[in-house]
Structure 1
Amino acid sequence: MQLWTRVMAALLLTAGLVTTARADETAMQIRQHAGEHRLLVLGEYHGTRETPLLVRQLVDDYSRDGTPVVLALELPRSEDAALAAYLASEGDADAMTALRSGRYWSVIGDRHDGRRSHDMLELIEAVRALRVQGRAVQVIGYDLVVSTRGNQVRDDAMAARLRQVYARMPGNARMLVLTGNVHAMRQRPADAPPDMQLRPLATTLADLDLYSVRLDARKGSIWGCLPDTCKSLPLRDRPGRELRVSTEPGRQYDLWVWMPELSVGRLLK
């Protein structure tokens, strides 16, 4: 039994190293093309295991030279006090329980869009660990209350919150915004109905030093919500896709990166 335990631990460690290496490669691509932009908007598929690891790598990379980094997550701003308390804690079980006691983290079954996961909690813990090392990093929420559905009011409110935090940052600080891929668009979605009013939050923030990145993958699965259920959904295989840089006036993203694979994260239930 002890031998089997050691073998399994070695396999898990190897898998973790591979995943980390992939995150490091994608993070390097993003940093290379984003350059000195101070506001990075990362458009994701919610509910994956790989994206929180990528964001963790970016926070680590950007803060390593002493640069202050604000990580803005698509969770209610009402969670900010709990986030601050956890970041100031020792990261023990009691502190995690207190963080998860908020309404946002309380879900029933699978009826949520994937943003609530152990992977996201581990991302927050990783930021706390960087603070222990002396890094100038923090985590904030910028969404409205839990019951608010996606609409123009919500996007405008989220953008206003991000603009407010950005205005208070030191001149050398960076903000990393993790959000759904539609919110990260610089332009109204091309396939939106003609009568649909939609200004994604990135559009509203375009006057700032913004760089929009679409996080995609060549294969894998994501967590998505259909009218009657939320479940794991397969991505269409797109082998050979490489990063795409765009500077066209009508672009939706400045950069489109393709991770090797995405998988459904460890969702809270």
Structure 2
Amino acid sequence: MSDQSEQSSPANATPATISMADGQLLLTRTPGVLTVTLNRPERMNAMTSGIYAALAEVAASLTGDRDTRAVVITGAGGKAFSAGNEISAFTQMSTGEEGVGYEAGIREVMRGLAELDQVTIAAIDGACVGGGLAVATYCDIRVATTGSRFGYPIARTLGNALAAPVLHRCVETFGESLTKEMLLASRLVDADRAYAVGALAEVVADRAGLEAAVERITTGIRRAAPLTLATTKAQLRRRATILDAVSGDEELLIAAYGSADFAEGVRAFVAGEKPTFTGR
């Protein structure tokens, strides 16, 4: 993996951490487990192109890795797993086709996560929206603190649209009713409602409880038969519409990303104003 610097630690102390994407992504290894930390707490761990590229690199590096049994993805700072994509990425976007390319790139990162043989766990503490929610839904298991919130409020903020596989994965995880609330009503779903529909394996009080829940889950995974886990994941991938583009989706994305409303949404977000959408 590129752009890595190892932070040394004394023997029997905290495991060493590897930094990627100029410190925006941190990797920590313990026996059988790789913890991946989104590390932009000052921006509520907003997803950048560097983070997406680093996630893709991590996923590629795990191919054939028999020592790593579980991958835990979490966010630094205690306020957010990730509050979405870094909006500055959209400021230079001027055509709908650029939006299609952007969504295709994200879909390939999600493909890398979904195709891992290792069990993936999203450990969520705080806001989990937009691109952060996409990452979480493409993980196999999710645990969260009581204060966590989930959603895709893009209809009220940016005026773009999700790629169909990302949307369908949200439906697979939260169900159609809550997904419609997230996208059509721009409502955030709290942890208790997410747990009630099976989107979360556990809801815990605080960060300490979150770490304990992850430890319980990863302990069980380390004891399980790797081939059983990998086979089960492969079987689930074959039945789910979570990886491939859907016929007609590109045209819809071109219309959304090429719209005046999307340009207005990005402008208003960057300016800290409320957008005025016109349907054009």
Per the TM superposition, whether the score is higher than 0.5 is no
User: Which protein, 1 or 2, shows the higher relative CO under an 8 Å CA cutoff with sep ≥ 6?
Assistant: 1
Q: As a proportion of its length, which structure holds more helix?
A: 2
TM-score, with structure 2 as normaliser = 0.28
TM-score by length of 1: 0.28
